Amino acid sequence: MGYELDFSVVWEHLPALLWGCLGTLGLALAGMTLAMGIGIAGVFARGSNLAWVRRLVIAFIEIIRNTPFLVQIFFLYFALPSLGLKLSPTITAIIALGLNGGAYSIEIIRGGVQSIHKGQVEAGLALGLHKGQVFRLIVLKPALRAIYPSLTGQFIMLTLTSSICTSVAAYELTSVAQRIESDTFRSFEVYFTVTLMYLAISWMLMTAFAAISRQYFNYPTR
Amino acid sequence: MHAVFGLKDFVFLLSGLKWTILLSAIAFTGGGIVGLLVAVARTAQNAWLRRAMIFYIGVFQGTPLLMQLFVVYYGLGLIGIQVPAWAAVTMAFTLNASAFLGDIWRGAIQALPRGQTEAATALGLPMISRMRDVILPQALRIAQPATVGYAVQLIKGTSLAAIVGFIEVARAGQIISNQIFAPILVFTVVGAIYFALCWPLSLYSARLEAKYAASR
């Protein structure tokens, strides 16, 4: 028995799939923003004078990094309503992505902050730069430059991870694909096309991140 | 309606855990063997071989694991290979692991000083022996922390097999949660099981990294 590949189904549902791509990008961007916020706040909390705050941050990082995202999103999906927070699946997914990406970002950003030597700040002040300039040009920019590859790599991972948000029916590419698949039973055609779409999304992000890097970090360091 | 999380449920979770461990172990072993070939081909003299491997690694690193699972799962049946679900899932994870491990080991091979290859060549060692006796033993040692770190990613990744209906520990958790209506409790236990599996490996990976950082 032969199976005829039929991509006309995909062609028919192309608009829905392209909207799904936008859904994925939106979900990923919102998740990245939240992850950055959690990452920066986490770095401050991680260096707190209070031991219990430091321990809490470490526990958060270890729990997130050593459990699957699928379990995390299920947990949030059921735990948030019991705290009285009735949120849509898409918002739940953004929170889950933000918490997950945030835990990884804390360690990455902390590495960047630690890469700036104290003597550089002193040298900057000695050269007559004021505090704002020292922070912006001598601390922030080189620190960002140092962590840029791992941070953007993490963001692309987050974008790919967002496909798991289909399990709580958030609006993104994979959930759109699953709906089309259950209507048409053209599983392979749909998933193969969607895989290519994800590949295009991650290549686009990579190209964009590289362009930003060339624009802002294009200066000699030694 | 007031079912409680009993011993029976815990035993069911553990039977799921058995599949999680088995799936991870097979994918890691299979992925390791294929990944070794990928790493060697990725650093080969032949430009076409290198380009093919860049593409192979790029595809697996640039698409979601869940999609890879779906494509292999439905694609195998399509080309006329009838395999049970667990075999399709295992194959998808093996391919994914081969790309990631291949890339980790590629990095380690390239991190070795060129002199190692040049000296081995000067000694007249053929390519196979150069790789097996000189390059790979050193490269795999450098790559140990990242390799163990990837094992953690792999174990967590096997939870996605739940979405295609394979009953490993995450799927077992879903089933119990639907039966006893205690999702928060059940997913806490499931999370704790994964944590117990992954955390020791993460600590081991961090220790290896500290050890190599100190020896450098």
* Ordered per-residue pLDDT tens for chain B, 216 residues: 456 788 889 899 999 999 999 999 999 999 999 999 999 999 998 999 999 999 999 999 999 999 999 999 989 878 778 788 888 999 999 999 999 999 999 999 999 998 998 999 999 999 889 989 999 999 999 999 999 999 999 999 999 999 888 899 999 999 999 888 888 999 999 999 999 999 999 999 999 999 888 876
Whether A1 is in a domain gets the answer: no
Whether A222 is in a domain gets the answer: no
Whether A47 is in a domain gets the answer: yes
Whether A219 is in a domain gets the answer: no
**Is the CB of residue A79 less than 8 Å from the CB of residue A73?**
no
The answer, for A68 touching chain B at a CB cutoff of 8 Å, is yes
Whether A36 is in a domain gets the answer: yes
Task: Return the ∠ at Cα A154 (arms to A151 and A159), rounded to 5°.
Answer: 130
Place of tokens 């028995």: A1
Q: Which residues of A fall within a CB distance of 8 Å from B173?
A: 71, 74
Could you give the ipTM of this predicted complex?
A: 0.91
Chains A, B: CB contacts under 8 A, how many?
Answer: 106
Q: Which residues of B fall within a CB distance of 8 Å from A161?
A: 64
pTM: predicted TM-score of the whole model, two decimal places: 0.91
Domains of chain B: 7-215 (1.10.3720.10)
Helix (H, G, I), strand (E, B) or coil at B183: helix
Query: How far A157 CA lies from chain B's nearest CA (Å)?
Result: 8
Q: Which residues of A fall within a CB distance of 8 Å from B190?
A: 71
Place of tokens 């193969």: A192
Domains contained in chain A, number: 1
Q: Residue A178: which domain range?
A: 8-214
- What is the tens place of the pLDDT at every residue in A76-100? 999 888 888 888 999 999 999 999 9
Query: How far A13 CA lies from chain B's nearest CA (Å)?
Result: 18
Separation in Å, CA A221 to CA A41, A42, A133, A141, B16: 28, 29, 18, 12, 52
- Looking up residue A207, the CATH number of its domain turns out to be 1.10.3720.10
Place of tokens 């002040």: A125
Asked whether the predicted pLDDT for residue A195 surpasses 70, the reply is: yes
Distance (Å, rounded) from C-alpha B19 to C-alpha B28? 14
Specify the higher pLDDT residue, A2 or A119: A119
- Answer yes or no: do A198 and B74 touch at CB < 8 A: no
